[in-house]
Chains A and B, each alone.
Chain A
Amino acid sequence: MSDGETGVPLYDGDIAPGDEPASGAEIAVGIRGYLIGLGLAVLATIVSFYISGTTLVWQPSIPAALIVLAIAQMGVHIVFFLHITTRPDSMNNVMALTFGVFVVFVLIVGSVWIMFHLNHNMIPMERLMQMQH
């Protein structure tokens, strides 16, 4: 079912999300994939927990580093656990994921951005109370 060279099936169908790409593969190959994913995820987690409490690096850089590590770890989970990859037969799954990520981005960044500026431009509560007297 596959051309042996790349492991890509010869028919031009689709692959189900979560299903594994290599058809006829040995269980050992599957286990190896999950082990690589687990290793990378554990590494990202340990680094995250370590830098959240460290004083070794410039403190304001820590939140940015944590967010980068979290996004990297989510990528690891998506590729090695959910098996959503950029293979041509996985296009529909990737398109749905891309749209989901877009909506999540707009929702979170948009909310934080708007509310930050709203807080910034508001009269402080104490002054508002004084004005009412």
Chain B
Amino acid sequence: MSIATTDFGFVRGAAAVVPFAEHGERSVASKLIIAAFGFWVFLLSDVVMFSAFFATYAVLKDMTAGGPSGKDLFNISTVAIETGCLLASSFSCGMASLGARARADFMYYGGMIATALLGAAFLLLELRDFTTLIAQGAGPSRSAFLSAYFALVGCHGLHVTMGLLFLLTMMAQVYAKGYRADILRRILCFALFWHTLDIIWVGIFTVVYLMGVAR
């Protein structure tokens, strides 16, 4: 099945005919490029914010104040399942993006539903982990290490929660309004957001969990 560029709504490049450009100016970048580039810069600033949490964690990870260290607390098999959920959800999110471009309902909704379920599974596992830690007396107030841990991993979890809301909104918008150019722009921004969260999780499972239990 092949898709022609013009019936995409996804038009790139100044010289391309831009069906949704209000002023008909061919020298202006398409709205898709402007919106997605702006969102990309926002995501990079979000990554910079995460790097501050990473730096804090790296500095504080040995300050356990006599309490448990990562080696005593982390359950690597749970982390492996969480990682699998996020990786698979990145793939299904890609399928949803392709489905939206091709206006293939089954692929779009199927991809989005799979992404939502995998994201929700990730969140449930993380929440279960957090409640177990707090029940063990290893809550964020126990030591500087645990404060930094809950801040970093919790911040990622909050982002995933927001991503899920974004996802459900995009499903509802396509359902109500169809594959309009502005909706497709938002779907592209959602895909960027979701894939970026997966990249941050790669940093978390490496620096926090794997390097925490190695040594």
Contacts and interface: CB of A to CB of B under 8 A. Distances in A.
Interface stretch (B116-124, B134-142, B154-162, B202-210): B202-210
A66 B195 contact: no
B55 A19 contact: no
Given A13-B13, A70-B202, A74-B199, A49 B90 contact: no
Contact of A17 (B40, B58, B76, B203): B40
Contacts of B95: 31, 34
SS class, residues of chain A in contact with chain B: helix
Interface stretch (B45-53, B125-133, B164-172, B175-183): B45-53
A100 B48 contact: yes
A17 to B, nearest CB: 4
Contact of A111 (B47, B58, B98): B58
Interface in A86-125: 89, 92-93, 96-97, 99-100, 103-104, 107-108, 110-112, 115
Contacts of A97: 40, 44
Given A38-B91, A70-B203, A17 B192 contact: yes
B196 A19 contact: no
Central interface residue in B88, B98, B104, B196, by most chain A CB within 10 Å: B98
A48 B101 CA distance: 34
A50 to B, nearest CB: 10
A1 interface: yes
A14 B191 contact: no
Nearest to B56: A111
B13 A92 contact: no
Contacts, number: 185
For this complex, into which size category does the number of interface residues on chain B fall? 35 or more
Contact of B87 (A11, A12, A25, A42): A42
B76 A14 contact: no
B55 A77 contact: no
Nearest to A54: B214
Given A45-B87, A70-B206, A73-B202, A107 B29 contact: no
Given A11-B13, A17-B37, A52 B76 contact: yes
19 contacts: A12-B13, A18-B40, A18-B195, A30-B98, A41-B87, A52-B210, A66-B214, A74-B202, A77-B90, A81-B195, A82-B196, A97-B44, A100-B44, A100-B47, A107-B55, A108-B54, A110-B55, A112-B55, A112-B58
Interface of B: 1-5, 10, 12-16, 29-30, 32-33, 35-37, 39-41, 44-45, 47-48, 51-52, 54-56, 58-59, 76, 80, 83, 87-88, 90-91, 94-95, 97-98, 101-102, 104, 107, 188-189, 191-192, 195-196, 198-199, 202-203, 205-207, 210-211, 213-215
